[in-house]
Amino acid sequence: MDPRRTARTVSDPKVRQVGFFTPAPPERSISDPPRFQDPIQPSSPSPTQVNDHSPSGNSLSPVMIPPAHHHSDNFLRTALQATSPTKAFSYSAKTVTIPPENEDVASSFSPGRKVVSAKSPSSFPGVKASSVPASELTTVSVVNLPPGISGKCVYKLKGKLIAEKAGGASVEVQNDRPVSAKTLKEKTSKAERRALQEAQRAAKAAAKGLNLMSVLLTYGYSVYLVYFTFEQILNNFVPVDHYVFLAEGTKASSAASKVVTSANTKPSKAAKSSSQKNDGSQVAASEKKGCDRAPEKDRKKDAPHPRMQYDDKSRVEKAKKRAVVKKTEARNRVELFRHLPQYEHGTQLPDLETKFFELDPMHPAVGLQYLSGDIRGGNARCIAMFQAFKEAIKDYSTPPEKTLIRDLTARISSYVSFLIECRPLSISMGNAIKFLKNRIAKLPLALSESEAKSTLMLDIDRFINEKIILSERVIVKHAVTKIRDGDVLLTYGASSVVEMILLHAHELGKHFHVVVVDSRPKLEGQLLLRRLVRKGLSCTYTHVNAVSCIMQDVTRVFLGASSVLSNGTVYSRVGTACVAMVAHAFRVPVLVCCEAYKFHERVQLDSICFNELGNPDAISKVQGREEINYLDGLVNQENLQLLNLIYDATPSDYVSMIITDYGMIPPTSVPVIVREYRRDHLWS
C-alpha cells in the first residue's frame, strides 16, 4: 500500500471516518476502517469510535477544525494510482474523471444500506464486520449483517466493481463499457462524447440496478424506490442532457422513462440542482452520499421551496391554486425584489382565522403567530414549528391502504407549505424540516404505527434538546471565554444566544458594559434592552446610524445570525452587515454566534437574490412618533415604493470568528462544518 496513505490513516483516524461514500456513521464504522486499513495493523471497528460520533458525543470541548484535505482528492489520487498499474478493469483514464458519479451509483445500489442506517446505534454490536485485504490496490470490505436483514455488500472501489448480495440473491453488476456507446458517436465534440459515454455507462448501470432491485425488493412499492434511484442518477448527470437517457433506451423500463419525462417537466428543479452542482460534481456527490434514497428525494422535494421565484408567473399561478389562504399582492412593489413574495400585510389573517378549525390536523396557531410576528427568532420559530408537528404526529393515524412513511411525509409537506404561506421559512426551519422528513423516511417498515409515532416524537425532542437548547449552551460556554472585565460589548437587534451569553457572563461576575444597537421598524433591541437592564447590566442604547460614533469605545461585537452560508456569509437581521462593516472599519473583532443546525450549504453574495420582505406599511409609519406623517397621503402613489427588508448578508471578511456548537471557527471553515459534521450528526 501507499506508505503516505498508511501513515495518514494512523495519525488521523478522525478524517478516515468521514468516508467518501459511506452514508451514515454506523455504516461508516463498518466499512471504513477496512477500507483504509493498514495491512500491518488490522483494525476492527471499536464501539468507542461509534460513540465518538453519535450525536450524544456532542461534548463541550471546543473543536477542532477538521483537517483540510478532503476524501475526494484522496479518492481521486487512489483512483489515479489504480488505473495505471492495474489494467484488470477495462477502464481508460477517462473513468477517473467521474468518481463521484460512480460512487453515487454504488451507494444508490445497495438496498441493504437503508436497513443498516435506519437501525439505531444500539443494535450495532450485532453487526459483524470482517475485512479482506485484496491484492494490489483494491480493498474489499465484506459486511455481514444480522440474520433478519442478512446482506452482503462487496465494494471494490477502485475497480468500480460493485457486487451486492442481499437476501440470498446475488447479482453482480459489472460496470463494463456499453457497446452501444460507440454507435451513438456522432458529430459531437470530444468532451461531449465523453460526457455522453459516461452518462450511458451510468444509465446502463442504473438499468442493471433497476433489474437488480426489482428482483431484490419485493415490497409493494419497489417501483417507487426505483424511481428514486433514477432520479438520483439523473440529478448527478446534470451537465448531460436528459435526452441521453431517452436515447439509450435499451434497458430503461417504463419507470425510467417516467422519470425522464417528469424531470423534463420540471425545468426549474433541474436548474436548481444544476446550480447546486456548480461548485463541482465532487461536492454534489459527497453531499449525496450522506443520504439514502428516500431522504434524497425528500431533500429534492423541499429544496426548491425557499427558492421559488415569484416573478415566474406560471408558477405563482399554480401556487395560488394550492394556497390555503387568500393573499393580496402588495401594490407598488420594488422592481428589484419581484422575485420575492410580498403580500398585503394582514390580508391572510382574517382568512386564516375563519379557517382556524377547518384546517384539519395542523394547528394553525403557529402560522398565525408567525404571521403576526409573535414568534420571532430562528430558534423560537423552529421550536414552535416542531411542537406543532409533534401535536400533528400525535393526532395522526395512517389512512387505510397507505403507508405511514409516504403519507406522513406528504402530510408534513402540506403543513410546511401552509407555514410558508404564513411567512417564508427561515433557513434553520428548512434544515429542521429536512431532518424530520429524513427521520420519517428512515423509519423501519416493521415498526407499528404507535411505535413509529413515538419514535418520531422522541426524535423531535432530541433535535430540540441537542441541536437547539444544548448547542445554545455550548455556544454560551465558548463565548463567555471571550469576555473580559472592562469590555464594552456591542450587539445588534435581539439575538437569543447573545442575550444568554451576556446574562451568563454577568452571572459569572464579569464587569462589562453592553451597547445595544437597534433599528427600525422592529425595534427588537428595546426588548433586549429591557431584559438586560432588568437583570442589572449596564447598557447603552442607540440606533444603527450612530454606530460609527459609538464604535470607537467598543471592544467586541457579538452578533446573532439567522443562518451561516457555506461561503462564510452571515445571513442575519437587516443591519447586521452595517454593524459588522463599521466594526471592521474600526478594527473591532466581530463574533457571530450561530448554532450549527442553522448552517446551510447555499452560497450568497448579496442580500437581494434571496431575502424576505416585510410589511411595507411599517416603513411609512414611525412607531411612537406621530409627528412623522409626511407620507400619509402618498402611500398609494405610483412612484413611491416602500421597502422593508428583513435580512441581509454580511460578507465573511467582516466576520472575525463564528462561535458555534463545534467550537470557535473562522468563516472559511463553515463549509467544513456543513459538509463533514452536520451530515454525520443530522442526517444519520
Partner 1 sequence: MLFMSINFLLAADKSSRSRKLKHDVIEAVNELIQDISTCHELIAEQAVEHIHQNEVILTLGSSRTVLEFLCAAKEKKRSFRVFVAEGAPRYQGHLLAKELVTRGLQTTLITDSAVFAMISRVNMVIVGAHAVMANGGVIAPVGLNMVALAAQKHAVPFVVLAGSHKLCPLYPHHPEVLLNELRSPSELLDFGEFSDCLDFGSGIGAPLLHVVNPTFDYVPPKLVSLFITDTGGHNPSYMYRLIADYYSADDLVLERRTTSGN
Q: By the criterion CB under 8 A, which residues form the site for partner 1?
A: 334, 336, 518-521, 526, 529-530, 533, 536-550, 552, 573-575, 577-578, 581-582, 585, 606-608, 611, 619-620, 622, 624-625, 628, 630-631, 634, 637, 639-645, 648-649, 651
What minimum distance in Å lies between the beta carbon of 335 and partner 1? Answer: 8
Those residues whose C-beta lies under 8 Å from the C-beta of residue 441, and which sit 6 or more positions away, are: 292, 294, 295, 297, 298, 405, 409
Angle at which helices 496-507 and 524-534 pack, to 10 degrees? Answer: 20
Nearer to partner 1, 589 or 651 (CB): 651
Compute the distance between CA of residue 158 and CA of residue 162 in angstroms, rounded to an integer.
Answer: 10
Report which residue type is found at 426. Answer: S
Nearer to partner 1, 400 or 633 (CB): 633
What minimum distance in Å lies between the beta carbon of 681 and partner 1? Answer: 32
What minimum distance in Å lies between the beta carbon of 369 and partner 1? Answer: 24
Hey, what's the cell of 106? Answer: 454504488
Q: Which residues pair with 140 in a beta bridge?
A: 132, 156
Nearer to partner 1, 288 or 506 (CB): 506
What minimum distance in Å lies between the beta carbon of 631 and partner 1? Answer: 5
From the CB of residue 509, how many other CB atoms can be counted at a distance below 10 Å?
Answer: 7
What minimum distance in Å lies between the beta carbon of 78 and partner 1? Answer: 43
What minimum distance in Å lies between the beta carbon of 605 and partner 1? Answer: 8
Nearer to partner 1, 333 or 381 (CB): 333
What minimum distance in Å lies between the beta carbon of 590 and partner 1? Answer: 14
Question: What is the helix (H) or strand (E) element at residue 539, kind and residue range?
Answer: strand 538-543
Nearer to partner 1, 51 or 538 (CB): 538
What minimum distance in Å lies between the beta carbon of 311 and partner 1? Answer: 16
Compute the distance between CA of residue 323 and CA of residue 367 in angstroms, rounded to an integer.
Answer: 14
Do 488 and 515 touch, CB atoms closer than 8 A? yes
Nearer to partner 1, 435 or 492 (CB): 492
What minimum distance in Å lies between the beta carbon of 514 and partner 1? Answer: 10
CA distances to 99, 260, 365 from 281, in Å? 9, 20, 42
What minimum distance in Å lies between the beta carbon of 303 and partner 1? Answer: 24
Nearer to partner 1, 74 or 607 (CB): 607
Those residues whose C-beta lies under 8 Å from the C-beta of residue 580, and which sit 6 or more positions away, are: 557, 559, 570, 590, 650, 654, 655
Nearer to partner 1, 244 or 582 (CB): 582
Nearer to partner 1, 8 or 531 (CB): 531
Q: Is the peptide bond before 39 cis (omega within 30 degrees of 0)?
A: no
Nearer to partner 1, 544 or 592 (CB): 544
Nearer to partner 1, 410 or 634 (CB): 634
Q: Which residues pair with 325 in a beta bridge?
A: none
Report which residue type is found at 353. Answer: E
Nearer to partner 1, 469 or 581 (CB): 581
At residue 612, φ and ψ (nearest 5 deg) are: -130, 140
Angle at which helices 222-236 and 99-109 pack, to 10 degrees? Answer: 170
54 burial via Cβ count (<10 Å: 0-12, 13-18, 19+): middle
Residues in the chain: 684
DSSP-derived pairing of the beta strands 128-133 and 139-144: antiparallel
What minimum distance in Å lies between the beta carbon of 680 and partner 1? Answer: 34
371 burial via Cβ count (<10 Å: 0-12, 13-18, 19+): buried
Q: In what order do the strands lie in the sheet with 151-156?
A: 128-133, 139-144, 151-156, 161-166, 169-173
Q: What is the DSSP string of 457-513?
A: HHHHHHIIIIIIIIHHHHHHHHHHTT--TTEEEEEES--HHHHHHHHHHHHTT--EE
Report which residue type is found at 475. Answer: I
What minimum distance in Å lies between the beta carbon of 622 and partner 1? Answer: 6
Instruction: Output Rg (C-alpha) for the chain, integer angstroms.
Output: 27
What minimum distance in Å lies between the beta carbon of 599 and partner 1? Answer: 21
Compute the distance between CA of residue 112 and CA of residue 316 in angstroms, rounded to an integer.
Answer: 41
DSSP-derived pairing of the beta strands 599-600 and 647-650: unpaired
Report which residue type is found at 594. Answer: C
Nearer to partner 1, 386 or 512 (CB): 512
What minimum distance in Å lies between the beta carbon of 543 and partner 1? Answer: 5
Nearer to partner 1, 458 or 585 (CB): 585
